Amino acid sequence: MLVDRLTETGQFLACSRFDPHLFSSPIEFSLANGVNVAIPSPGIIQFSPANQASKDIVLSCGVHGNETAPIEICDDLVSRILRLELCPRQRVLFIFANLPAMDIAQRFVEENMNRLFSGEHANSTAAQNQERLRACELEKVVGQFFQTGTSESTRFHYDLHTAIRASKNDKFAVYPFLHGGRHSHEQLAFLLACGVNTILLSESPTTTFSYFSSRQFGAHAFTVELGKVYPFGQNDMSQFAAVIKTLEALISEDHLSLPPFDSEKMYIYRVNQVINKHHHDFKLHFEDATPNFTDFEKGHLLASETGAEYRCEFDGEAIVFPNENVAIGQRALLTVVPTQL
Ligand SMILES: [Zn+2]
């Protein structure tokens, strides 16, 4: 009966959010087109095609519960697969990460989940909470998904977000630190096809979901920011046409044919400063509405707190993800400078 409900309505996310007990034990079934469906837990659904696949793809959304556009995009893809309107030819794992935060339309309930991966959830000095438990579960699910693929498969993880503020570069992606590994031009071409023309190269290990998949499983992994946060139902979905079409093709085609990487069409930045908040009086020295990737001159005062001033070290150094309301010890601002790949 549950299977009929899912395949008729496609409402996996709604069932996960409002009737999570339906998935209190794992379920598995096949669609009429031979695609195997496995649901290990609410908000997590894996599709495995009958044919031999060459790609293992993780699409995650809702790591921040109020970032609705990616949740709506993934919900629609899952729904269409369940209703046989879209047939996956690659293995794909969809993750709706923070279901309780979606219900209260907040970024998180207790703690920013995207600071809890690569084992940070088990950091024993912090109290247990639902974000830590979920991050631990997601690590296991992703690990199992990648490890049960064939050894020839290529691994991908796109962790889809929207930013709190507007951005001069509307859609951008964070490329996790590769520890000396080569950046993939093919992946940059893929992101450009999604409408993502700005790439930020991270230069240190971190506790994000995309770094976890990149580091632990050698996946091509990215944190992808698709625009600005709006409430459910208020997103202009036409702004996401390119990303939806490209993700559909990634899932449902044997081979993607994309225009080759063109450095002229992309803006690439490297992280220059990671500025953490150490005191309650931490203050940003620019307007709250300042868009991401706004740049300043060398020497410009960006932020201050007791005992420290943070200034631009280069002309054209730009701000990303400013948030003076983070917890003490957490990142309040990144600065980036243009680079080439
Ligand atoms: Zn986010």
Give strand ranges (E) for the chain.
27-30, 36-41, 44-48, 55-61, 91-96, 154-163, 172-175, 198-201, 220-228, 267-276, 283-284, 295-296, 301-305, 308-311, 317-320, 331-338
Q: Kindly state whether residues 155 and 233 are assigned to the same domain.
A: yes
Q: What is the pLDDT of residues 111-145, one digit of tens each?
A: 999 999 999 999 877 788 999 999 999 999 999 99
**What is residue 236's predicted lDDT score, i.e. its pLDDT?**
87
- Contacts with 205 (C-beta within 8 Å, 6 or more apart), sequence order: 118, 177, 179, 211, 215
Active site residues: 225
Whether residues 251 and 298 share a domain: the answer is: no
Between the CA of 4 and the centroid of ligand 1 the distance, in Å, is 33
Long-range pairs of 19-28 with CB within 8 A, sequence gap ≥ 24: 20/99, 27/2, 27/3
List helix spans (H) across 44-109: 68-82, 99-103
How far apart CA 255 and CA 235 sit, in angstroms, is 30
Q: Region 72-80: what's the mean pLDDT?
A: 98
Q: Are residues 298 and 237 in the same domain?
A: no
- Give the 3-state secondary structure of residue 76: helix
Sign of CA dihedral 64, 256, 178, 262: negative
Whole-number Å distance, alpha carbon 61 to ligand 1 midpoint, is: 9
Which pLDDT score is estimated for 116?
96
pLDDT in tens, 29-70: 999 999 999 999 999 999 999 988 999 999 999 999 999 999
- Position 171 scores a pLDDT of 92
Question: What is the predicted pLDDT for the residue at 95?
Answer: 98
What's CA 244's distance to the chain center, in Å? 15
Q: Judge if 212 and 285 occupy the same domain.
A: no
The CA distance from 29 to 253, in Å, is 23
Confidence band, pLDDT 50/70/90 cuts, at residue 266: very high
Q: Which of 170, 172, 168 is nearest to 200 (CA)?
A: 172
Indicate whether 190 and 149 sit together in one domain.
yes
CA distance 310 to 117: 28
Specify the length of the chain in residues: 341
Nearest Cα to Cα of residue 40 among 161, 171, 134, 172:
134
- Is-contact 141 41, C-beta < 8 A? yes
Report which of 95, 252, 250 is spatially closest to residue 186, judged by C-alpha positions.
Answer: 250
Rounded CA gap, 76 and 231, in Å? 16
Range of the domain at 283: 272-338
Question: What CATH number did the domain enclosing 21 receive?
Answer: 3.40.630.10
Cα 279 to averaged position of ligand 1 atoms, centre (Å): 24
- For residue range 17-30, what is the model confidence (pLDDT) as tens digits? 999 999 999 999 99
Residue 161 among known ligand-binding residues: yes
**Where residue 184 falls among pLDDT bands split at 50, 70, 90?**
very high
pLDDT exceeds 90 at position 86: yes
Judgement on whether residues 13 and 162 belong to the same structural domain of the protein: yes
Residue type present at position 81: I
> Where is the domain boundary, 218, 238, 264?
264
- Which pLDDT value is given to residue 192? 96
C-alpha 18 – ligand 1 centre gap (Å): 22
Asked whether residue 127 falls in the same domain as residue 214, the answer is yes
**Residues 159-179: tens digit of each pLDDT:** 999 987 777 788 999 999 999
124 and 198 assigned to the same domain:
yes
* Average confidence score pLDDT of the chain: 95
| C-alpha distances in Å from residue 190, one per residue of 155, 242, 249 | 14, 11, 11
Structure confidence at residue 214 (pLDDT): 98
Question: DSSP class of residue 43?
Answer: T
Same domain, 187 and 293: no
Q: How far does the centroid of ligand 1 lie from the alpha carbon of residue 67, in Å? A: 6
CA dihedral 213, 216, 217, 223 (to 10 degrees): 20
- Is 280 flagged in the annotation as binding? no
Q: Which of 211, 235, 264 is the last residue of a domain?
A: 264
> What's the first-to-final CA gap in the chain, in angstroms?
52
pLDDT at position 85 over 90: yes
Q: What is the pLDDT of residues 90-109, one digit of tens each?
A: 999 999 999 999 999 999 99
- End-of-domain residue from the set 225, 248, 264: 264
Summarize pLDDT for 294-322 with one digit per residue, the tens: 999 999 999 999 999 999 999 999 999 89
Q: How many domains does the chain have?
A: 2
Say how far apart CA 274 and CA 288 lie, in whole Å: 19
Task: Indicate the helix (H) or strand (E) that contains 280.
Answer: none
Compute CA 31 distance to the chain's CA centroid, rounded to the nearest angstrom: 28
Alpha-carbon distances, residue 220 vs 6, 186, 212 (angstroms)? 31, 10, 11
> Is 64 marked as binding a ligand?
yes
**C-alpha of residue 2 to centroid of ligand 1, in Å:** 31
Backbone angles phi, psi at 334, to 5 degrees: -115, 145
CA of 331 to the centre of ligand 1 (A): 14
- Does one domain contain both 243 and 276? no
Same domain, 251 and 297: no
- Tokens describing residue 112: 């920013």
Model confidence at 87, pLDDT cuts 50, 70, 90, reads very high
Q: What is the CATH number of the domain that holds 319?
A: 2.40.50.630
* Residues 244 and 161 reside in one and the same domain: yes
